[in-house]
Structure 1
Amino acid sequence: MREYSVPMLVDVPASANCADVVFERGEQNPGAVVFKRGTADGWAAVTAAEFRDQVAAVARGLIASGVQPGDRVALMSRTRYEWTVADYAIWAAGGVGVPVYETSSAEQIAWIVSDSGAKVVIVETEAHESLVGSALAELGEKPAVWCLDRGAISELSAHGADVPEETLKERRTARGGRDLATIIYTSGTTGRPKGCCLTHDNLLFTARNVIAGPLQALFETKDPAALLFLPLAHSFARLIEIVLVESGAVLAHTPNMKNVAPDLQSFHPTFLLGVPRVFEKVYNGAEQRAAAGGGAKSRIFRAAVDTATAWSRAESTGGAGLGLRARRALFDRLVYAKLRAATGGRLSHAVSGGSALGERLGHFFRGAGIEVFEGWGLTETSAPSTVNIPGANKIGTVGKPLPGVTVAVAEDGEVLVKGRHVFESYWNNPAATAEAIDPDGWFHTGDVGTIDEDGYLRITGRKKEIIVTAGGKNVAPGPLEDRIRAHPLVSQAMVIGDDRPFVSALITLDPEALDQWKEANNRPGATLAELRTDPAVVTAVQSAVDESNKQVSKAEEIKKFVILDTDFTEESGHLTPSLKVKRNLVVRDYTKDIDALYG
């Protein structure tokens, strides 16, 4: 078994908990700006003292509501400032946060709240309040529900006005590293979500070693600031929230994904985090705008992409030559500077996780002046286990282990992990825990990968998603799907072929990209049902499939595909909130299309 370890940089005292930093910084540096809130008049600053006081007031309200040490409090909201206030208030009250995606169904809400035994539920909107009410109607003892849009922060603050300071201090200092901090329910691509139990030590050990180690340079820039727009119910965004609060960088939230572009320009972040689909959208949007501008602009953009990629590859192997540096300088003025300006002008680094970014995008963005560091991990590992770092970014890999983490690859190719960041158990599910963590303490991730001679991990697929064709050929669908999704017109791709004579794919079209395509091709009234069989669209998608097939053997190639008349979305139930395809549900709902491919 091949393994690789990185020594711990920061130890965390056994007495430490996630709420400590809020009260320590509020006392030691009360005037420091730690948040900015979006308002109609721009971004309003929130100081460390103001944040501390709000957290303390809401924590008192939770205590007055009956929350006892170790009690679970569910939090269902989009990513917004009030989420972070509530999150830290739950910890300050001695509680355990249970995040719920704001897109969750009544059945999912009922399962998470009942399984966790939540005593209080904080929701964002009145619609959420109504949904939670109907979801919990059959519960014997219903939790109290507070609504952010109906003034939950103010109401909880008033509710706890009589709770003494001594009581709050006793509550928040009584919780230590071994105590449960949060239960995060996995996305549930198959079956019911499992509650992943993470302690204060899991989260703080990970956050503090990230700050001191691989991403230290991101916090050493002038006035570091980050815009958070991924769902805070997801472990990746949640850990970054903790990293930012621990580091003292300025954090802003964007509740609506449609506002990301204007918020980037007005907030001017120095770094951000995203999932590969976000970076694909940025690239594809720039490419389509160039194509809409005519032949000359399209050629300039294509040349700029080739130059950025060549420059980045050269930087990985000793540095670019004089001619390549000159071309990059030219395209920096023509293309790259405009791309950076669209992100606020200060953005130089980003972190990507959730699924594979791909070398094409990694090299392009680095060449354009925004270096994307790809990382990898699971909810069970407090989000990250590995990440690339400034000055040692090996594009195409997910980096080396974090400080204090050991990663290994078993004989069957499965990636195993050890470290203080690894969860202790699944809530109320000892059988699943025993299956995930072996007697030697290794967490079995379910991902398949390799570790190179320098300790960099490369993820090649999911163990349970490996396709075995009727001819006995093993096929990893992930790399094929990533290449197809790189095409501007494509939204999602799902490769199939288990026990089938050949590999095929279900492909969906990107509605936003189609709008631009229809305008450019003088087809304003064309419907999706018409476009899925349009020869020009089919040819474009075929080119994406052909490009994907270049990376595999003949036996692994996608021989046929079908373009569906709809997209996979969270609302349709075919994507998890972290944008992973629920393969079993897609197979169930598109049986006719799959059968037609093999008919």
Structure 2
Amino acid sequence: MTEKKLPIDNRPPSVAHLFQERVEATPDREAFRYPVPTAGGSDEWHSYTWAEAASRVHAIAAGLMALGVRAEERVAIAAATRVDWILADLGIMCAGAATTTVYPQTTADETAYVLSDSGSRVLIAEDAKQLAKVRERRAGLPDLAHVVVIEAADAVSVDGDPDGWVLSLSDLAERGAAYLEQHPDCVKGAIAAQQPDQLATLIYTSGTTGRPKGVRLSQDTWSYMGHAIEAISMLYPDDVQYLWLPLSHVFGKVLLSGHVKIGHSMAVDGRVDKIVENLPVVRPTVVCGVPRIYERVHNGAAMRAKAGGALRARIFGWASDVAKEYGRVSQENLRRTGRTSVPATLRARHTVADRLVYSKLRELFGGRVRALVSGSAALPPDIGYFFEGAGLPILEGYGLTESAAASFLNPGAANRTGTVGKAFPGLEVRIGDDGEILLRGPGIMQGYHGLPEQTAEVLEPDGWFHTGDIGELSDDGYLRITDRKKDLFKTSVGKYVAPTEIEGRFKAVCPYVSTMLVVGPGRKFCGALIGLDKAAITSWAEQNGLPGDYAKIVADERTIALVDGYVQELNSGLQPWQTVKKFRLLPRELDVEHGDLTPSLKLKRPVVEREFVGLIESMYE
């Protein structure tokens, strides 16, 4: 009897192979949609077929070869999410080189650090702003032979570049076309030569503490991810996926592997302020995001309802409760009986609420979404149940940069809110004696670039990776994350506290919160720093005759009393040692620009605690 092979076992060695297979299989199907600004200020959406994309990708790959880039040498990309990022990334990998990701928001010093640490030979920069970061530090980057600028009008033609260090992306493609004429099989040869363990990507962790580390991910990692995403039926060939996530982050990057393997259409626009405008135009079937986006959608809908008067606010509040109950009951029944049936009275209330509220919410997403995917941070369960009940199920997943982002995902037909779903095929998982989640499989990193000691701290010789997260596995394989191992703390009375669990619960009850940071290690009780959503709290202040800027609003006793009500609601569902006895409102929103959040919107706890140490100490005086 022969052993049955999983779909992931028959994978090619690299993403470049996947791309080649995709282009040959569906050359005339739409691969990408992307916006092009018009003279009137609006956008027109253009497309690339897979064949058209391949022509551009091969020209970029050959252009890099013409610049002297060879197998596994690093080529960095510093740009926002756009179709050019994806074409450049595919070009790099088709040339056999490796992509180094650089967040466009990164400071000049940190950009120089990443380029130097990675030994990048070429930087593909979005515009003059990104070029300026390295131009002034060129002397300290001896390995950086060229900078290729995507939006090159100002950066190249105005500044000039007599020694050829800077060229435009169009120039690179022209060099590639000429190189292909002389070496017509160069790209095919580079693809054929690629091996599974060859370096494909250096993704630098966004650094919640200290300098970022370069995570080494192989060609086989991305090939595996493409096949695994297909195997779990996360996406289908007829899907239209809307991509706005930063591609410098592993969550955005892994979606490219699934796209190439499955061959669906992807609409690409990284401008976060355009999401609401784009969704009804693109009409996607799948959208991936981070919890903060879904929280803002929910809270924004609640604020609009309140602005419409007391009746609309009551209707939305009622519909929100119905959605959460419907989502919870239907999932519980599915687990117990295998059917998503709900009591007739709940179904009747849900039908009315759908007509009044949920249908309008679905239209905001374009009217065709069959699934939303959430990752990068914990999704508050009440937010998940609300969207489930509203007909927009959020499939929460889990992974790390070190595991190529995607390790677990909730199955669409059996979504279980409050968990991150089941392991991807081919991935092994076990829970350590201390509750830590350990993973082993094709998606795990090779190690940290140039950091063998730090690699050995998390990666065992037999391949088991220590995630640093605490979790629980159900009997049927669903994983629940309870906290970060390093974030757990013990109060002075000897009780352990999981801060992220408390923070997630608060986001579900308070529509005005942006960020909550629970503190209290070694203290008698838990305190919290609370940042409010500027738009939401300003709208509330205007409705309640409380003028002024954000700092004045959060300092007002009426605002403090408002938030205190939600804190008490939170505390009513917590154990005594978990309750938040005191809190302080932050004088500003936490954001990426101030260094409080990573570009993927993760909280930098040590940074925030240092900056607002005075507020923390005031709670314990």
Under TM normalisation by the shorter chain, which class is it?
A: over 0.9
Contact persistence 2:18–2:223 (CA under 8 A): no
Alignment of 1:457 onto 2:457? no
Contact persistence 2:11–2:227 (CA under 8 A): no
- TM-score normalised by structure 1 residue count: 0.95
Residues 225-282 of structure 1: per-residue CA shift (max 9 Å, x gap) = 0111110111011101221222111001122100001111100000110000000000
Contact persistence 1:214–1:402 (CA under 8 A): no
In the alignment, the residues of structure 2 paired with residue 536 and residue 406 of structure 1 have an alpha-carbon distance, to the nearest angstrom, of 52
Matches within 5 A, 1:102-501: 102-150=104-152, 152-163=168-179, 164-215=183-234, 218-219=235-236, 223-318=238-333, 319-486=341-508, 487-501=510-524
Contact persistence 1:10–1:205 (CA under 8 A): no
Contact persistence 1:8–1:404 (CA under 8 A): no
Contact persistence 1:210–1:403 (CA under 8 A): no
Root-mean-square deviation (CA, aligned residues, Å) is: 1.6
Contact persistence 2:538–2:550 (CA under 8 A): no
Select the residue among 25, 36, 43 that pairs with 1:28.
25
1:520 Cα offset (Å): 2.0
Select the residue among 526, 533, 544 that pairs with 1:503.
526
In the alignment, the residues of structure 1 paired with residue 12 and residue 380 of structure 2 have an alpha-carbon distance, to the nearest angstrom, of 41
Aligned-partner SS, 1:38? strand
Contact persistence 2:115–2:141 (CA under 8 A): no
Contact persistence 1:480–1:549 (CA under 8 A): no
Distance change (3 Å), C-alpha of 1:267 and 1:15 = closer
Distance change (3 Å), C-alpha of 1:311 and 1:198 = same
In the alignment, the residues of structure 2 paired with residue 214 and residue 36 of structure 1 have an alpha-carbon distance, to the nearest angstrom, of 22
1:500 aligned partner, one-letter code: R
Moved more, 71-80 or 583-592: 583-592
Identical residues among aligned pairs (%): 39
Aligned-partner SS, 1:351? strand
1:135 Cα offset (Å): 4.2
In the alignment, the residues of structure 2 paired with residue 324 and residue 42 of structure 1 have an alpha-carbon distance, to the nearest angstrom, of 44
Select the residue among 11, 16, 31 that pairs with 2:13.
16
2:81 alignment counterpart: 79
Moved more, 287-296 or 310-319: 310-319
Aligned-partner SS, 1:219? coil
**Gapped runs of 5+ residues in structure 2?**
154-167, 334-340
In the alignment, the residues of structure 2 paired with residue 167 and residue 465 of structure 1 have an alpha-carbon distance, to the nearest angstrom, of 50
1:56 aligned partner, one-letter code: H
Aligned-partner SS, 2:584? strand
Distance change (3 Å), C-alpha of 1:545 and 1:135 = farther
Contact persistence 2:22–2:260 (CA under 8 A): no
2:21 aligned partner, one-letter code: E
In the alignment, the residues of structure 2 paired with residue 355 and residue 444 of structure 1 have an alpha-carbon distance, to the nearest angstrom, of 18
1:566 Cα offset (Å): 1.2
Contact persistence 2:411–2:421 (CA under 8 A): yes
Aligned-partner SS, 1:172? helix
Aligned-partner SS, 1:161? helix
Aligned-partner SS, 1:454? coil
1:137 Cα offset (Å): 3.9
Aligned-partner SS, 1:196? strand
1:366 aligned partner, one-letter code: E
Q: Which has the higher contact order (CA 8 A, sep 6+)?
A: 1
Distance change (3 Å), C-alpha of 1:44 and 1:178 = same
2:19 aligned partner, one-letter code: V
2:201 aligned partner, one-letter code: T
1:13 Cα offset (Å): 5.1
Aligned-partner SS, 1:283? helix
1:48 alignment counterpart: 50
1:236 aligned partner, one-letter code: F
1:28 Cα offset (Å): 3.3
In the alignment, the residues of structure 2 paired with residue 9 and residue 304 of structure 1 have an alpha-carbon distance, to the nearest angstrom, of 43
1:172 Cα offset (Å): 2.1
2:604 alignment counterpart: 582
Residues 570-598 of structure 1: per-residue CA shift (max 9 Å, x gap) = 11011111111111111221121111111
1:214 Cα offset (Å): 4.8
Q: How many residues align?
A: 588
